[in-house]
Structure 1
Amino acid sequence: MNASGNKYQKGFLDAVRNGDTAELKKILECREGKVNVNSFDTEGQTALHQSCMNGNLKLVKLLVKFGADTRLANSDGWNPLHIAAFSGHQDITLYLLHANRTIPPKR
């Protein structure tokens, strides 16, 4: 990713950390192809993992809509569904269960 791509990625990660759904949507719509929604941070989490931990269903839905992989494991081996269930976020858990049913299995 080039320098401008890194700028977009930083803005993406900041919007996720801040729980800013409007800013995240703007970044994802305007910078499609320039932001990796499945990138791992220094702690081994993706934006989807972080949003599941934070209990932010709006961010979770937005990230999945823009291609976040619901099956990626973090550095501890937990996928977003594990994190949502363990954290007690029933709404996110149910959403991810449904989302996983509509995604074809990996081969």
Structure 2
Amino acid sequence: MSEVVKLYDEADKLKAEGKLEEAVAKLEQAVAADDSYALAHSALAVVLQRLGRHEEAIQHAVRVTELEPGDPFSFTALSVTYQRAYAGTNEMGYIRLAEEAMERSRMMGQHRH
């Protein structure tokens, strides 16, 4: 098993135990070792969001769309990250960004048929 996968698995266990800060630390180690590991960026977006660290969460969700630009789910997840950022901050700008990301996801889904 590669080091980044091991770190991801350890982070996943920590997240399940509610040890979110520790999970973030492991995931940050994973992306430091391999910035192209989309799963770790995706998990960071979720955990950071739970901690109320919305801007950081968004950065990782955006990175997933850069790593997997052809995957509609990447943009759906980014939209959800923006929606949660709005819920946590009441910043209206996040709504527009969420809608744009969801529209990209929809457009990609239509092109697959």
TM-score by length of 1: 0.48
Higher relative contact order at CA 8 Å, sep ≥6: structure 1 or structure 2?
Answer: 1
TM-score by length of 2: 0.46
Rg comparison, structure with higher value: 2
